């Protein structure tokens, strides 16, 4: 997509319904997909107001109009529920700021799509667990999110990325990337390639169960990493689930599992020293407890039993996606150094191995809360 140019961002800012004088503008957050900016405005006597401005990644989200329709649908629905519960709809869900033409997005003269949200103040999105209680609160929030959307008309949601968590299909894409080897990198990562090939069974588990009708599709978030939740700086409660680009019909185990692979790891997703990487059973247990509380009894016994499998599948899938991207020349995930995707893939595979070693403990923990 190329970098955001100065002219482009100025054009975008000029075309949203902002008020006041732009006092500051800076790149923001550590997401791997969109280009995010924090804008600060001075609004007369009202003082400082902030907004998030994002250029959507249109190579990944090929239909940004459908995507924004999903977001408007889901956030309007959540807003009603939040108001019913006496909550604050400006902090507990995303609020889209419309463009000057009234649309929930702006298309610039390069054809890139932009959107803007009210900035959620006095809250933080964490890249790593700093305090186990925060992780618990994030679990409750992601569980709640699923519960609140349990009756949302799933058929109205567009599939923003086809087969996003179809691990079986992603396995085929991976094999293809190895075969094509467009960057000539395969030979240097044979060990990682062999790891994927030896674990094909993990890629098939959920598609087999879905085919047999043993697990239900639900409206899920599909990208439940810790930095996609805002934690209130004062109350330390998880107040808002953000990054709604991938809200689609999916599996409860995926939402659970993605949080574990990111938040229950003892190291960062791109840690180079693999000795630091393991799946903390303390954090795993905390998350199980919070997530089941948030889901409020909506999960079937089979889904609960499959939570550890969700953690393994999502970690394996994510590692395989990082490795695929490395082989294909790093065109999907943003990279900030040479071999970044390879480092990320290695942490994920280390976590999968670690989970295999702790499998019985993971099952026992889940049983305690069933
Ligand atoms: P990506 O898909 O690239 O991960 P996100 O939508 O998650 O993009 O945004 C990136 C980061 O920007 C988030 O991790 C969070 O820190 C911050 N952010 C996004 N939306 C808001 C918001 N409405 N209020 C405050 N911070 C936000
Ligand atoms: C991406 O958008 P972000 O940074 O929250 C990715 C997730 C991966 C994650 C790995 C749309 O999440 O699927 O699990 O990176 N999002 C998309 O950190 O592909
Ligand atoms: Mg994000």
Could you report the per-residue pLDDT of 223-270, keeping only the tens digit for each? 999 999 999 999 999 999 999 999 999 999 999 999 999 999 999 999
**132-369: CATH, from 3.90.850.10, 3.90.1200.10, 1.10.540.10, 3.40.50.10330:** 3.90.1200.10
What ligand is nearest to the CA atom of residue 52? 1
Ligand 3: distance of its center to the CA of 241 in Å?
10
Nearest one of 61, 65, 89 to 1, comparing CA atoms? 61
CA atoms in the 13 A half-sphere facing the CB of 292: 19
Ligand 1 atom closest to residue 117's alpha carbon, by position in its atom list = 23
pLDDT band at 285, cuts 50/70/90?
very high
Q: Whose CA is nearest to atom 17 of ligand 2?
A: 33
DSSP 3-state of 77? helix
Residue for token digits 């938040």?
263
Nearest one of 141, 142, 139, 146 to 283, comparing CA atoms? 139
Counting residues of the chain whose pLDDT is more than 90, the rounded percentage is 99
What value does the CA radius of gyration of the chain take, rounded to a whole number of Å? 20
Residue 196 has which token pair?
A: 């994927």
Furthest C-alpha separation in the chain: 64
pTM tops 0.85, yes or no: yes
pLDDT at 2 exceeding the cut of 90 = no
Burial class of residue 25 (count of CB atoms within 10 Å of its CB; 0-12, 13-18, 19+): middle
Ligand 2 atom closest to residue 222's alpha carbon, by position in its atom list = 13
What number is the average pLDDT over the span 266-292?
A: 98
Relative orientation angle of helices 281-295 and 359-369, to the nearest 10 degrees = 30
The CA–CA distances, whole Å, from 269 to 148, 279, 280, 345 equal 29, 12, 14, 8
pLDDT at 370 exceeding the cut of 90 = no
Domain borders along the chain are 6-121, 132-369
Query: Which chain residues have CB less than 5 Å from ligand 3, an ion?
Result: 31, 228, 243
Cβ of 31 less than 6 Å from ligand 1: yes
- Element holding 217 (H helix, E strand): none
Ligand 1: distance of its center to the CA of 310 in Å?
25
Q: How far apart are CA 263 and CA 279, in angstroms?
A: 9
Nearest one of 175, 172, 12, 43 to 105, comparing CA atoms? 12
Report phi then psi at 138, rounded to 5: -65, -35
Residue 198 has which token pair?
A: 């030896």
Ligand 2: distance of its center to the CA of 207 in Å?
21
Per residue in 319-340, pLDDT (tens digit) is 999 999 999 999 999 999 999 9
Ligand 1: distance of its center to the CA of 182 in Å?
32
Instruction: Look over the chain and give the mean of its residue pLDDT values, rounded to a whole number.
Output: 97
* DSSP secondary structure, 325-351, as one string: HHHHTS-SS--SSTTHHHHHHHHHHHH
Nearest one of 34, 80, 87 to 227, comparing CA atoms? 34
Cβ of 34 less than 6 Å from ligand 1: yes
What number is the average pLDDT over the span 191-210?
A: 98
Relative orientation angle of helices 167-180 and 190-198, to the nearest 10 degrees = 150
What number is the average pLDDT over the span 95-119?
A: 98
Ligand 2 atom closest to residue 31's alpha carbon, by position in its atom list = 4
What number is the average pLDDT over the span 113-138?
A: 97
pLDDT band at 351, cuts 50/70/90?
very high
Q: How far apart are CA 123 and CA 91, in angstroms?
A: 9
The number of beta carbons lying within 10 Å of the beta carbon of residue 312 is: 24
Q: So what's the pLDDT on residue 341?
A: 98
Cβ of 262 less than 6 Å from ligand 1: no
Per residue in 21-44, pLDDT (tens digit) is 999 999 999 999 999 999 999 999
pLDDT at 279 exceeding the cut of 90 = yes
Q: So what's the pLDDT on residue 91?
A: 96
Q: So what's the pLDDT on residue 365?
A: 98
Q: How far apart are CA 324 and CA 304, in angstroms?
A: 30
Ligand 3: distance of its center to the CA of 223 in Å?
8
Cβ of 114 less than 6 Å from ligand 1: no
Q: Whose CA is nearest to atom 5 of ligand 1?
A: 243
Pairing of β 229-232 and β 47-55? unpaired
Q: How far apart are CA 175 and CA 313, in angstroms?
A: 17
The answer to whether 159 touches 259, Cβ cutoff 8 Å, is no
Q: Whose CA is nearest to atom 12 of ligand 2?
A: 32
Ligand 2 atom closest to residue 269's alpha carbon, by position in its atom list = 18
Q: Which residues line ligand 2 (CB under 6 A)?
A: 31-33, 60, 223, 225, 228, 243, 245-246, 258, 269, 318
**6-121: CATH, from 3.40.1350, 3.40.50, 3.30.200, 1.10.3470:** 3.30.200
Q: So what's the pLDDT on residue 337?
A: 98
pLDDT at 108 exceeding the cut of 90 = yes
Q: Which tops the pLDDT comparison, 163 or 370?
A: 163
């Amino acid at each position: 997509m190329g970098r955001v140019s100065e002219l482009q961002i100025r054009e975008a800012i000029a075309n949203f319904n902002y008020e006041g004088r732009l006092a500051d503008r800076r790149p923001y957050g550590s997401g791997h997909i969109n280009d995010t900016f924090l804008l600060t405005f001075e609004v007369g006597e009202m003082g400082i107001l902030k907004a998030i401005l994002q250029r959507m990644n249109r190579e990944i989200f090929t239909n940004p109009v459908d995507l924004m329709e999903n977001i408007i649908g889901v956030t309007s629905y959540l807003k009603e529920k939040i108001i019913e519960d006496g909550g604050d709809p400006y902090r507990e869900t995303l609020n889209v700021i419309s463009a000057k033409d009234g649309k929930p997005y702006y298309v610039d003269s390069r054809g890139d799509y932009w959107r803007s949200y009210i900035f959620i103040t006095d809250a933080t999105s964490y890249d790593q667990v700093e305090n186990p209680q925060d992780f618990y609160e994030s679990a409750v929030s992601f569980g709640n999110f699923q519960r609140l959307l349990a009756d949302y008309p799933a058929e109205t949601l567009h599939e923003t990325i086809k087969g996003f968590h179809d691990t079986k299909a992603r396995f085929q894409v991976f094999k293809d990337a190895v075969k094509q080897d467009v960057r000539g990198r395969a030979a240097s990562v044979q060990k990682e390639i062999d790891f994927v090939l030896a674990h094909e069974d993990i890629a098939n588990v959920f598609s087999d169960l879905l085919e047999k009708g043993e697990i239900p599709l639900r409206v899920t978030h599909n990208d439940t990493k810790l930095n996609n939740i805002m934690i209130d700086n004062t109350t330390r409660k998880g107040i808002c689930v953000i990054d709604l680009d991938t809200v689609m019909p999916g599996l409860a185990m995926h939402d659970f599992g993605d949080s574990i692979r990111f938040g229950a790891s003892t190291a960062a997703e791109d840690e180079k020293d693999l000795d630091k990487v393991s799946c903390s059973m303390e954090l795993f247990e905390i998350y199980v407890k919070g997530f089941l509380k948030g889901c409020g009894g909506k999960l079937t016994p089979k889904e609960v039993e499959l939570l550890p499998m969700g953690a393994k599948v999502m970690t394996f899938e994510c590692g395989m996606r990082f490795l695929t991207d490395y082989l294909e020349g790093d065109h999907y995930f943003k990279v900030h150094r040479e071999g970044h995707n390879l480092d990320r893939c290695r942490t994920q595979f280390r976590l999968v191995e670690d989970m295999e070693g702790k499998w019985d403990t993971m099952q026992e923990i889940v049983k305690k809360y069933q």
